[in-house]
Copies of this chain bind each other. A is one copy, B any other.
Amino acid sequence: MALIVQKYGGTSVGSPDRIKNVANRVAKYQAEGHQVVVVVSAMSGETNRLIALTKEVAATPDPREMDVVISTGEQVTIGLLCMALQAAGVKARSYTGGQVKILTDSAFTKARILNIDEAPIKADLNSGHVVVVAGFQGVDELGNITTLGRGGSDTTGVALAAALKADECQIYTDVDGVYTTDPRIVPEARKLDRITFEEMLEMASLGSKVLQIRSVEFAGKYRVKLRVLSSFQDGGEGTLITVEEETNMEQPVISGIAFNRDEAKLTVLGVPDKPGIAYQILGPIADANIDVDMIIQNVGHDGCTDFSFTVGRGDLEKAAKILEGVKAHIGARSIVADKSMAKVSIVGVGMRSHPGVASRMFRTLAEEGINIQMISTSEIKISVAIDEKYLELAVRVLHKAFELETA
């Protein structure tokens, strides 16, 4: 008998029929002798519907009240799923984040989990209940309703698995696992049986939106066995996300190719090449809560240099405006914005022990005439910024160069 936490996303519970399907799947697990805790998201579309309502009553809705409104989506799902489970003959009991209780800080709309009271859940499990918990939400010390931010239901699932010392946390989604890259771009993309947390973090943060980054960090930290599975296919093993690296000799150098289309580049031309210039440029950007990703400072000449960095495309206009504001102060000649950037990354813990990975990547892109505009590296990934129009081509040739379709 195992204790399993299963998390079902919005598409998996997107209609009464799909909720009944989830109930049947959960019932089957329980019938096999497992204890099951289920975490659910709001039915697909519901959170957006609620957010649209808030925008109609207030231009900038108060975050506390925002959480009061949007937390109702998951509350509806837990009640419906319990009803469906009971109709399938399974004892079930629902809990909101406030009832569990999932204690968070008071950072409304992006709260962090501080503690979970697992006692009532354990008691329910031991009396034969399936426990259904609302994802995405918690409660602060004062009893205010909080939410964890988009995709927070994954985090709820992992946090519950950690608190309950569950044997496995299964994340059900509309894909059947983590792939070497997006199969819509590379049809030969292959589902990975295993991937390490570190690799998954790089894959997730680079746009493979299977799992919320925070939940992967959480799982890594608390050593929760995490598995990504499809809620629409039966019998698959999904992808297991593990702490341990694979130990066999055949370990591939690269596990996958991640990419992000949503990039934009800003270049500050002709700034004085002196200490503190990076801070002067990036300080105001950070103050405006704009995330900066890749950064390059060219080698200077004549006491001047160029400074480039990438931001999310949605932040480009705001960031450019900020730079125009500080241009005179920092002594820059001009600002150039390029909104058609993309980032492609090769990810793999195997590259630690394999020199020459970077050069193979650069050569592969060069052979196709793809110009690399920026480079950034970490121990387990190499990212390049390229013109967006070459994105699909770059992903395809890299996938082939690292033999990901057969590894």
List the interface of chain A (C-beta within 8 A of B).
16-17, 19-20, 23, 50, 53-54, 56-59, 61-62, 64-69, 71-72, 75-76, 78-84, 86-87, 92-94, 96, 98-99, 143-145
Contacts and interface: CB of A to CB of B under 8 A. Distances in A.
A60 to B, nearest CB: 8
Contact of A94 (B68, B72, B79, B98): B68
A76 B69 CA distance: 5
Contacts of A68: 75, 78-79, 82, 94, 96
Nearest to A84: B57
A78 B93 CA distance: 26
Contacts of A66: 79, 83
A16 B53 CA distance: 7
14 contacts: A16-B53, A54-B79, A57-B83, A61-B83, A62-B82, A64-B94, A65-B78, A65-B82, A65-B86, A68-B78, A69-B75, A71-B75, A72-B75, A96-B145
Contacts of A87: 57-59
A62 B78 CA distance: 12
Contacts of A143: 99
Copies in the complex: 2
A392 B71 CA distance: 48
Contact of A65 (B23, B53, B69, B83): B83
Contact of A76 (B50, B59, B78): B50
A56 to B, nearest CB: 4
A294 B225 CA distance: 66
Nearest to A71: B75
Given A65-B86, A72-B72, A86-B62, A80 B53 contact: yes
A20 B23 CA distance: 40
Contacts of A57: 16, 19-20, 23, 80-81, 83-84, 87
Nearest to A134: B68
B79 A65 contact: yes
A142 to B, nearest CB: 9
A98 B17 CA distance: 30
Contacts of A71: 75
Given A16-B57, A83-B54, A87-B57, A94 B65 contact: yes
A86 B99 contact: no
Most chain B CB within 10 A, of A57, A92, A96, is at: A57
A93 B62 CA distance: 10
A197 to B, nearest CB: 34
